[in-house]
Amino acid sequence: MGRRMLAAGVVAAALAMAACGGGESGEPPSAGEGYRVGLLLPESKTTRYDTFDRPYIEARLGEVCADCEVLYRNADSDAAQQATQAAELLDQDIRVLILDAVDAAAAAAVVTDAEARGVPVVAYDRLAKGPVDFYVSFDNEKVGQVQAQSLLTALGGERTRPIVMINGAPADPNAAGFKKGAHSVLDGEVTIGREFDAADWSAEAARTGMAAAITALGAEKIAGVYAANDGTAGGAIEALKAAGVTELPPVTGQDAEIAAIQRILAGEQYATIYKAIKPQATVAADMAVAAATGTAYTGHVTSFTDNGTAKVTSVLLPPVAVTRANVKDTVVADGFYTAPQLCTGSYAAACHEAGIS
């Protein structure tokens, strides 16, 4: 990585020096020297990115590289737009790119372009294709397994009525991991009456797909819903309510979005997956600084993930299942949400019952 930066960095370094200091003659910036860090996040349909990922990454970079400047863009689920944003940031002499790809395969071009300009890439949350330097995420198959396991727990002995399976955005490599992990637990245990992907993680796609599943299977016949994230869980629950279902079946989710935690407290959604984004963001910022400065990443590496181009140095964090029983001990204890944030209006009573005050 250091060598690559030296080889490809001549033009970029000259521009970078003009823009914001940085190394001379292609040298990486030295300790304490400021430089630009590009941050590309994939979408705004899921609340995590602007609410948690971006601020946590910026905060950690502020700690470890006080003079660094973060240039941020969100692609709104549009891979072409993300490519344009990457080119814009690379033209502004970023020294490292933290990339959460809309489309892992399409992002290979972005990664290759960055590499050609001597800019290392940290794959954030979703593993882009191409010569990526570092990767930090959660264990995605494990996420799917934990989701599916929580659904089986909720179903108890119920094994006759079908479930509906709503998977995530097909272009998101994580969605494939969640799906694979979930199938490894559900297959042979339950009947999957209907299964579909929600393009762009769209709650609306989940709602319409769920409405079609209800028409096909019968509203009262559905024993549970595997929804790959909280947005799609919300869409599925809307469809069930619109079909007149009052005793909602167990519905899974992911991301511990505030609306989902409130639904869990109120008994409308069974479970979500809590991904502690602060540690993830912290690792990403630390990897970015190591990559930009050509120094070793000193954090604990969990694995080397093959993305088809390289075995990428990876930190994969463990996901945590959240149901009503442990909202207090997970997202509240961690400070992800405060009691006043969660316990608004009609949720106050449910909070009280869950011991959250």
Phi-psi region of 299 (alpha: psi -120 to 50; beta: other; left: phi over 0): beta
Q: Looking at 125, 139, 141, 197, which residue binds ligand GAL (CB under 6 A)?
A: 125
Please choose, out of 168-176, 302-310, 320-328, 341-349, the segment that lies near ligand GAL by the rule CB under 6 A.
168-176
Is 229 among the residues that bind ligand GAL (CB under 6 A)?
yes
Q: Looking at 36, 46, 182, 312, which residue binds ligand GAL (CB under 6 A)?
A: 46
| Separation CA 318–CA 337 (nearest Å) | 19
Is 293 among the residues that bind ligand GAL (CB under 6 A)?
no
What is the pairing mode between strands 121-124 and 134-138?
parallel
Tell me if 46 sits within 8 A of 75, measured CB to CB: no
Is 201 among the residues that bind ligand GAL (CB under 6 A)?
yes
Report in angstroms how near the CB of residue 116 gets to ligand GAL at its nearest. 26
Please choose, out of 1-9, 167-175, 217-225, 282-290, the segment that lies near ligand GAL by the rule CB under 6 A.
167-175
Is 56 among the residues that bind ligand GAL (CB under 6 A)?
no
Residues facing residue 123 across a β-bridge: 99, 135
Report angle CA 103, 313, 279 to the nearest 5 degrees.
80
Q: Looking at 174, 269, 280, 314, which residue binds ligand GAL (CB under 6 A)?
A: 174
Is 48 among the residues that bind ligand GAL (CB under 6 A)?
yes
Residue whose CB is less far from ligand GAL, 93 or 125:
125
Cβ neighbours of residue 218 closer than 8 Å, sequence gap 6 or more: none
Characterize 25-46 residue by residue with b for buried, 16 or more Cβ atoms within 10 angstroms of its Cβ, and e for exposed.
ebebbeeebebbbbbbbbbebb
Tell me if 213 sits within 8 A of 164, measured CB to CB: yes
Is 286 among the residues that bind ligand GAL (CB under 6 A)?
no
Task: Enumerate binding residues for ligand GAL (CB under 6 A).
Answer: 46, 48, 125-126, 168, 172, 174, 201, 229, 231, 254-255, 275
